[in-house]
Amino acid sequence: MSSSRFSPALQASDLNDFIAPSQDCIVSLNKNSAASRLPIKKKQVVVSTKPPEESVKISLKDCLACSGCITSAETVMLEKQSLDDFVTRINSGKTVIVSVSPQSRASLAAFFGLSQSQVFRKLTALFKSMGVKAVYDTSSSRDLALIEACNEFISRYKLSQLSSDKEVGTSLPVLSSACPGWICYAEKTLGSYILPYISSVKSPQQVIGAAIKHHMVEKLGLKPYDVYHVTVMPCYDKKLEAVRGDFVFSVEEKEVTEVDSVLTTGEVLDLIQSKSVDFKTMEESPLDRLLTNVDDGGHLYGVSGGSGGYAETIFRYAARALFNREIEGPLDFKILRNSDFREVTLEVEGRPVLKFALCYGFRNLQNIVRKVKMGKCEYQFIEVMACPSGCLNGGGQIKPAKGQSPKDLIQQLEGVYMQDGLASVCDFNFIFLLTHSSFMSNFSAILLQLSCSLLTLYILLNLAVIATRTFLLVASHYMLPLTLNLVNQVSVSNPFDNPIAKRLYDDWLVQPGSDNAKRYLHTQYHPVVKSVTSQLQNW
């Protein structure tokens, strides 16, 4: 596996796989002795050796605790994060639950030319045919994360007005925490001066992991260690996040992980293709509504924003909670240095009172970090993502088709992301239709005949709807395979109105910011001490 699949932050110069001379891995073959020695006494050479021992395996957890390589032992590290292991686990007797991210749904929808609802229902059918117990949607856990993030921001903002100390819980700006590539980079490279600014709220992946392993297992009549929880994500870095020690707990002296395995969108596509089925025509299954954002009509709902909508959701909430301002319509994000660096401002009586930013990509990230370090950052909240264009452009997403540029694919995914049900084609390539002579000649002939009649205007007005529908129907036969416009969009909803979130707070978490919420939905970060590897990286 190439390291290029990880986010740019994890490919930074001081996170490479160069191991300097005399720099040992933290998992040594023999923890009780140093390396084998060759003592020379007079003319006699004595070689100290030990009998062969069992091979040592390096886990992802070990590598997260090290400031050296992340790619030297990839094949060993990722052996429990693979498609083969997923298939094996299905047949192991454990209850397998799969949680699918909306970004992965969008990528598969764009690839197959389907709606998100169709993709989700077909994935549900595919996974259940393999023996999976339930298939959920991480949009529900994202709403929980957003609620906690809103509550956290208000608390930090108020505390920041009273204190200038850069302690956890008081520091501004708040930096989002949903991107594991950014978190790993911050811990290994930036250290203690930046970590207090990072939100303590878990990512949607880990929130749904906590909900399943700490709460939902009881409703299913299972033990946490009897459930094998798999997520489908747009990002390889999510594999690293899943094995963090902070997301492991013990039940009856058994170690339990909130998320046991992560499959990328591309790996799920490999699974589909390995089954030799026509995914576009395969039957669909009803969605599991227990942890899925789907309404009574079967339509998906959630927040807008391909990277989770953190900045927009918190901005609207803060404007209302702090300044009694209700913001209607889309936010006016101003593009700064590039499209991956944007800001939005709330003014009250001509004075800016809130300033949020979107910061995607490693280059923009470095600029923000520099400003924070110098104490010159003007933002109260920053949505940080390591990948340019955010999560829709994650390294685990399906790659562009032949002849399609990455930029075109991102634009396509952004269009598909908030779209749900298929319509008769109503957004088509009009320029292409104009160049199709057989279609245009027939249509022009009809118009010419109608224009000769005294009743032309009346007929055109009364038959406008019929003519338009006929036009679109015929047009669909002359179109190249283009992305279909989807009229029934994914409904944009307020996370605080989510019935799933309300139920989880009532039955489990009590309220936003409660002790239970902090225990299960929040985490902490750990600066990694620099090693000789980092210091000698440029040898």
The pLDDT assigned to 173 comes to: 96
What confidence score (pLDDT) does residue 285 get? 97
- CA dihedral for 19, 24, 28, 34, sign (positive or negative): positive
CA distances 139 to 145, 203, 461, Å, are 10, 11, 45
Look at the block and give the residue holding tokens 């910061």. 359
**Is the pLDDT reported for residue 494 higher than 90?**
yes
DSSP state of 246: G
Decide if pLDDT at 167 tops 80: no
506 has pLDDT over 70: yes
Residue 115 has pLDDT above 50, yes or no: yes
Instruction: Please spell the DSSP secondary structure of 340-387, one letter per residue.
Output: TEEEEEEEETTEEEEEEEEEESHHHHHHHHHHHHHT----SEEEEESS
CB 475 within 8 A of CB 425: yes
Residue 78 token pair: 């990722």
pLDDT, greater one: 17 or 146: 146
- CA 275 to the chain's CA centroid: 26
pLDDT at residue 290 is higher than 80 = yes
CA dist., res. 64 & res. 62, Å (int) = 6
The answer to whether the beta carbons of residues 321 and 153 sit under 8 Å apart is no
Q: Which residue has the higher pLDDT, 4 or 417?
A: 417
Q: Pull the structure tokens for residue 340.
A: 């991956």
pLDDT mean over 102-130: 97
Burial class (CB in 10 A: 0-12, 13-18, 19+), 374: exposed
220 pLDDT tier (thresholds 50, 70, 90): confident
pLDDT mean over 504-508: 98
Identify the pLDDT of residue 57. 54
CB atoms within 10 A of CB 525: 21
- The three state secondary structure string of 27-83 is CCCCCCCCCCCCCEECCEECCCCCCCCCCCCCCHHHHHCCCCCCCCCHHHHCCCCCH
Query: What backbone torsions phi and psi does residue 115 show, to the nearest 5 degrees?
Result: -85, 165
Q: What is the pLDDT of residues 367-379, one digit of tens each?
A: 999 999 999 999 9
| Percent of the chain whose predicted confidence (pLDDT) is above 70 | 69
For residues 487 and 397, the model is more confident at 397
The residue extents of the domains of the chain are 146-203+305-398+490-521, 430-475
Distance CA 176, CA 468 (A): 47
Task: Give yes or no for a contact between 251 and 223, defined as CB atoms under 8 angstroms apart.
Answer: yes
How does strand 341-348 pair with strand 261-264? unpaired
* CA gap 527, 61 in Å, rounded: 15
Q: Bridge-partner residues for 175, per DSSP? A: 198, 382
- The whole-model pTM stands at 0.78
**502 vs 31: which has the higher pLDDT:** 502
SS3 content of the chain, % helix, strand, coil (to 5): 45, 15, 40
Quick one: pLDDT band at residue 91, thresholds 50, 70, 90?
Answer: confident
Q: Check the CA dihedral 300-303-304-308 and report its sign.
A: negative
Mean pLDDT of the chain: 80
What CATH number does the domain located at 146-203+305-398+490-521 have?
3.40.950.10
Q: Encode pLDDT of 49-84 as tens digits.
A: 665 655 555 555 555 444 444 444 444 556 678 899
**pLDDT for res 477:** 35
